[in-house]
Amino acid sequence: MKKRLITLPVLLSMFFWSFGQEKNVYPEGYLVKVGDMAPDFVINEAGGKSYRLSDLRGKVVMLQFTASWCSVCRQEMPFIENEIWLPGKSKGLVVIGIDRDEPVETVLKFSKDMKITYPLALDPGAEIFGLFALKEAGVTRNVIIDRSGKIVFLTRLFDRKEFDQMKNKIFALLDAK
């Protein structure tokens, strides 16, 4: 009888624990990892244009998860604009800033205030963010996707050394054709 009383709680614990294990969570709160195919989605730019990620196959894509209230995002964005977007767009690079759960007016003002020319898109409810990372996790994330749709680089926060590694990866992909 004593053995059964011990076994039952252990089995019940394992049973209920298994329900919380639906998603793999990787470092930094990511739900994806390098080598995974990027989840497909449709997103609307603040200016009105729509994108389906799978329609961008054949191009190198940078997804920049951001928000107007994020100080680290604001720190990183001029580097993305000047060191990645401006020199990369003529080589076919696609950069999409994905603004987490803010209204279009806020996103348009954010883009103007930051003086960026790459598009910022809307992510109501952080639905697209939630395909890549836990919704409870912070923004300031970059996801680099190769021409085949595979994730090849992930960042979290802004670290100059990691940023330079990401930039080198992007330009190596662009030059590889």
The C-alpha atoms of residue 130 and residue 35 are separated, in whole angstroms, by 18
Label each residue of 117-138 as H, E or C. Answer: CCCEEEEHHHCCHHHHECCCCC
Higher-pLDDT residue of 21 and 115 is: 115
Go through the domains of the chain in sequence order and give each one's CATH number: 24-176 (3.40.30.10)
The C-alpha atoms of residue 171 and residue 174 are separated, in whole angstroms, by 5
The token pair at 63 is 């997804």
pLDDT in tens, 141-154: 999 999 999 999 99
pLDDT in tens, 3-49: 554 454 444 444 434 334 456 887 789 999 999 999 999 999 988 89
Q: Is the pTM of this model over 0.95?
A: no
Q: Is 35 helix (H, G, I), strand (E, B) or coil?
A: coil
